[in-house]
Amino acid sequence: MMTPPNIEAHFEMRRQQITLPARLFAMVDALLFAEASDAPPLRRSNYSIALFDRTPDASLAEHGPWLIDYALTPGPIRRVLAELAAGPVGMSWLISAYSFERLAAELREHLDVRLPDGRTALFRFYDARIMPDIARVMSDAQRSQFFVATYDWLVEIDGRLTGVHPHA
């Protein structure tokens, strides 16, 4: 029997500590997801939401970030998530009491950032490889505003689970 992924054990521990009903979500870049071996295509469903939907970047939604409700995710998708988490691409994991749709809406609000010169840029918070560095340079006010919807924001790279929020 395979041992459960690190994130499942962490989620079970955290669920016992959190008084509200919390859910585990995965966040993945569709282009990186598609590069995994035998990856089925991501499709909009009861377990997956394209974060670029309902944004100015909607035409790129198929290839952008996706939020996945882990409890409802079928085995083939879970297998790809585990493969990404075990390798250098990594995975972002979120534990939240927000509903699936509300969490997606909250994350959509953060997809664009305003640069000091006034231009807008894509905020790649869904890339597990850079999220720890992004979180480190945030001010306390930015952190509390950005992470308001999550109890935990973790990344798993090369099978190693690291807390981004709260600090681990």
Listed in sequence order, the residues at least 6 apart from 24 whose beta carbon sits closer than 8 Å to its beta carbon are 7, 8, 11, 70, 71, 93, 94, 95
pTM for this structure?
0.88
Tens-digit pLDDT profile for residues 27-83: 999 999 999 888 999 999 999 999 999 999 999 999 999 999 999 999 999 999 999
Cβ pair 107, 53 in contact under 8 A: no
User: Which sequence spans correspond to the domains of the chain?
Assistant: 6-154
State residue 167's pLDDT score: 45
Tens-digit pLDDT profile for residues 79-98: 999 999 999 999 999 999 99
CA-to-CA dists, residue 56 to 4, 52, 108, 136, 138, angstroms: 38, 8, 11, 28, 25
Tens-digit pLDDT profile for residues 104-162: 999 999 999 888 999 998 999 999 998 888 888 888 888 888 888 998 999 999 999 98
State residue 165's pLDDT score: 84
CA atoms within 13 A on the CB side of 42: 28
State residue 3's pLDDT score: 42
Tens-digit pLDDT profile for residues 2-13: 344 588 888 888
State residue 128's pLDDT score: 93
Instruction: Identify which has the larger pLDDT, 13 or 24.
Output: 24
